[in-house]
C-alpha cells in the first residue's frame, strides 16, 4: 500500500500550465470500490421482499442516487410501495451499507490512487469529490483519502442525479474554476455524460467500449500521470 502521509496544501504554490486546472473525482469505482457493499445491502433488501437482485442489475445502479436505485429495484421485483415505505426501505438499506463501510481500511483504495492524487496535488491541480453517495465522508475518512480534497460535493449537497451535471458544476464552482478548466474522472456512463453535459473533459475508468463518450479511457488511476492531464 502506498504511503498515505498527510499533504499540506500550503506546501505547494504551483499553478498548472495547461488549460485544465482542477480535477473532479467520482468515488465508487474510481478511488475505492464499494460496489460490493452496495450489492450486498441491496440484495439483502430485495431478499426480504421476496425476490433476488443480481450483480448485473447492480452494475446498472452505478452513479444513481439511493432513491432512484430503490425505484429501479422495486420495478425489477414487481413490487409497489408507498413513498413512506420507500423511505423506510432506503434507510434500512443504508444502515446495512454504512455498517459495512465503517469497517473499510486504506487497503481498499484502488491501485495507483494515492500515487496519482499525490502527484497531481503536488503539480498544483485543485481536487474535488463529485459523488452521488451520501456516505462519502465516512468512506474518505476510513480510507485516509480525505486530506487530498479541497472540496467535497456529495449526495447531501445536490438534488439531481447524474447524468445531470449538477454535482460536477457545484464542485467546479466551489473550486473557483470554469467547467472547461476541469476534468472529471468517472467509471459510469451516467457520470461521463454528466461531465460532458457540464462542459468538462472526462477521463473514463473502465472499458473503452462502455465509456465511449470519455476523452480518455484507462483501466485505473494507476495508468495515469500528470503528463496525461497536460495532454488534454
What residues act catalytically?
26, 28
**148 near 3, Cβ under 8 Å?**
no
Joined together, the cell numbers standing for residue 162 give 447524474
**162 near 63, Cβ under 8 Å?**
yes
Compute the distance between CA of residue 225 and CA of residue 117 in angstroms, rounded to an integer: 10
Joined together, the cell numbers standing for residue 41 give 445491502
Compute the distance between CA of residue 160 and CA of residue 197 in angstroms, rounded to an integer: 13
113, 118, 117, 123: which is closest to 21 by C-alpha? 123
What radius of gyration, in Å, describes the C-alpha atoms of the chain? 18
Residue 56, preceding bond cis, omega within 30 degrees?
A: no
* Exposure of 89 in the CB half-sphere (CA atoms within 13 A): 24
The strands making up 126-130's β-sheet, listed across from edge to edge, are: 151-153, 126-130, 22-25, 182-186, 201-205, 216-218
Compute the distance between CA of residue 108 and CA of residue 113 in angstroms, rounded to an integer: 10
Number of C-beta neighbours around residue 170 at 10 A: 19
Amino acid at each position: 500500500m502506498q504511503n498515505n502521509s498527510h499533504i499540506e496544501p500550503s506546501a505547494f504554490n504551483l499553478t498548472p500550465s495547461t488549460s485544465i486546472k482542477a480535477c473532479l473525482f467520482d468515488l465508487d469505482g474510481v478511488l475505492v470500490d464499494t460496489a460490493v457493499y452496495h450489492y450486498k445491502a441491496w440484495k439483502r433488501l430485495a431478499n426480504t421482499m421476496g425476490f433476488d437482485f443480481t450483480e448485473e442489475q447492480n452494475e446498472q445502479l452505478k452513479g444513481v442516487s439511493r432513491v432512484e436505485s430503490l425505484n429501479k429495484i422495486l420495478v425489477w421485483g414487481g413490487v409497489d410501495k408507498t413513498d413512506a415505505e420507500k423511505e423506510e426501505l432506503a434507510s434500512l438499506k443504508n444502515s446495512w451499507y454504512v455498517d459495512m463501510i465503517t469497517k473499510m481500511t486504506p487497503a481498499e483504495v484502488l491501485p495507483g490512487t494515492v500515487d496519482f492524487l499525490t502527484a497531481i496535488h503536488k503539480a498544483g491541480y485543485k481536487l474535488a469529490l463529485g459523488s452521488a453517495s451520501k456516505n462519502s465522508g465516512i468512506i474518505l475518512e476510513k480510507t485516509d483519502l480525505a486530506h487530498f480534497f479541497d472540496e467535497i460535493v456529495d449526495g447531501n449537497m445536490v438534488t439531481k442525479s447524474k447524468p445531470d451535471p449538477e454535482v460536477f458544476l457545484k464542485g467546479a464552482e466551489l473550486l473557483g474554476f470554469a467547467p472547461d478548466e476541469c476534468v472529471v474522472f468517472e467509471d459510469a456512463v451516467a457520470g461521463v455524460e454528466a461531465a460532458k453535459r457540464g462542459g468538462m473533459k472526462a477521463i473514463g475508468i473502465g472499458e473503452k467500449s462502455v465509456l465511449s463518450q470519455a476523452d480518455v479511457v484507462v483501466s485505473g488511476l494507476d495508468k495515469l500521470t500528470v503528463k496525461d492531464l497536460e495532454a488534454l
